[in-house]
Structure 1
């Protein structure tokens, strides 16, 4: 049995009214570890378990680490997650809650990732948080579920951090004959590494992440994510942190589900940037979730 759940698909009356078109939500915020990450990470962990690996190592400041830890507990395989110093106490406690070891190393994810790679041996599988074809194939299942439900849509809105969700949705569209459906890829100011690459015409690394949406905090997206912008219709949208946080708070009121600003960035397109949806009639929005934000933290950001 897969480690992820088939999540609800809801027509959102509040987001439809806010944007002036039909908005359908794929509610991956309701996955057991709190985000869509378990789809791809669960698939990768199952693959490596079948291959005889006896330990999982990952690097993540949040949701990917929680997903690896959850998968390891379900598969009875020990997990070590390397996180940067910027990782919140809540994120670390959620990883430990699943029974995994947490190692803090370096100022950024890149440094934690380098240390994680050093911990890999012949019996260990390294689980990358976003840049792995095994992950993309797993994430693609969310599109399979929408198509199976018989819902048609003429655009997909999603958040971009490292680009794993973008790569997975792209694969899901392709394998369901929907390669011409545009993807609206949303980032926050200060974490917009995909937009930087698109503007430069080549894969580009940001000097630093300055957004509060730390789940979108990859200074450079996966090469596959950049390739997708060149091979299929992708609209890039950048929203500011405050708009992303406001979207989280409105979504909490509208749907009784708390998501983090990395997810709020995508939702903000319906709430605050509906002009970017003007040419579409029925939009699929990925409510990707995120377990590391709390209501208190969102309220503090909103007040600052």
Structure 2
């Protein structure tokens, strides 16, 4: 059995009414570790376990580290996760609760990643949070499940950080012969590396991550994500932190599920009736995760003025 579960696919009446079209939700926030990450990371960890690797090392802004820690516990393999200082206290606690060793290092993910890679030994496996073909193959299972349910969307809305989910969804669309289905990529201002790269026609690196959506906090998308953005129909959208937070609150009211601002970016596209949705009747939104944020964290963001 894989380490991930098949998650519900449901049509959202509240979002459909708001957006004036049929909105379908793929609820990967209900995965056991709380995000879609376990699809790819679980597949990669199982592959490395079969190779005889004796320790997993990962860098993460939160969700990937939780997924690696969960997979390591399930496979009885020790895990070390390096996170930056921006990772929420809740995410740190969840990584520790899975039995992993947690190291906090650096102001941003790329600094934590450098330390994690420097720790690799001969018997270790490195679990990159988004730039690994094993991950993309695992994430593609999300689209396999949608295809298995018999619902072909006119477009897919998903959030982009480093690009791992995007790469996996493109792979899933391709292997189900859905190459014609466009992807609407959602990012928050200050974590919008893909949108800026598409606009500049080159893969750029942000000077810093200034968004509260730290789960989107990769300064640069992976090379595969940028390449696929030039091959597959993509419509980039950038929303404010305020819009992402409002969307999270509305989604909690509508569906009793708390998601983090990284996921709120995708939901904001729908709640704010972005013109990018024009012409699409059946829209799939990937509800990617929310376990790294709790209501206390949302209150802190609002006190900072982000939710005003």
Q: Distance in 2 between matches of 1:275 and 1:218?
A: 27
Q: Distance in 2 between matches of 1:238 and 1:273?
A: 13
Q: CA deviation at 1:295?
A: 1.4
2:16 aligned with 1:16, yes or no?
A: yes
Q: CA deviation at 1:301?
A: 2.6
Equivalent positions of 1:78-157 (< 5 A) are: 78-157=78-157
Name the structure 2 match of 1:296: 296
2:74 aligned with 1:74, yes or no?
A: yes
Q: Distance in 1 between matches of 2:255 and 2:210?
A: 29
Q: Deviations over 1:207-228 (max 9, x none)?
A: 0000000000100001111111
Q: CA deviation at 1:291?
A: 1.2
2:218 aligned with 1:218, yes or no?
A: yes
**SS, match of residue 157 in structure 2:** strand
TM-score normalised according to structure 2 size: 0.97
Equivalent positions of 1:222-261 (< 5 A) are: 222-261=222-261
Q: Distance in 2 between matches of 1:184 and 1:302?
A: 27
Q: CA deviation at 1:290?
A: 2.6
Name the structure 1 match of 2:44: 44
Name the structure 2 match of 1:205: 205
Q: Distance in 2 between matches of 1:99 and 1:296?
A: 24
Q: Deviations over 1:25-55 (max 9, x none)?
A: 0000000111000000000000000010010
Comparing 292-301 with 237-246, greater Cα deviation is found at 292-301
2:244 aligned with 1:275, yes or no?
A: no
**SS, match of residue 137 in structure 1:** helix
Q: Distance in 1 between matches of 2:112 and 2:302?
A: 30
Native 8 Å contact 1:249 1:298 kept in 2: no
**SS, match of residue 52 in structure 2:** coil
Name the structure 2 match of 1:65: 65
Q: Distance in 1 between matches of 2:94 and 2:128?
A: 18
Comparing 80-89 with 243-252, greater Cα deviation is found at 80-89
Q: CA deviation at 1:84?
A: 1.3
TM-score normalised according to structure 1 size: 0.98
Q: CA deviation at 1:166?
A: 0.3
Q: Distance in 2 between matches of 1:86 and 1:181?
A: 35
Q: Distance in 1 between matches of 2:88 and 2:213?
A: 12
**SS, match of residue 215 in structure 2:** helix
Q: Deviations over 1:268-304 (max 9, x none)?
A: 1110133221110100110001311111222343452
**SS, match of residue 231 in structure 1:** coil
Q: Distance in 2 between matches of 1:297 and 1:249?
A: 13
2:1 aligned with 1:7, yes or no?
A: no
CA RMSD of aligned residues (A): 0.9
What is the number of residues matched between the two proteins?
Answer: 304
Q: Unmatched 5+ residue regions in structure 1?
A: none
Equivalent positions of 1:164-203 (< 5 A) are: 164-203=164-203
Q: Unmatched 5+ residue regions in structure 2?
A: none
Comparing 267-276 with 292-301, greater Cα deviation is found at 292-301
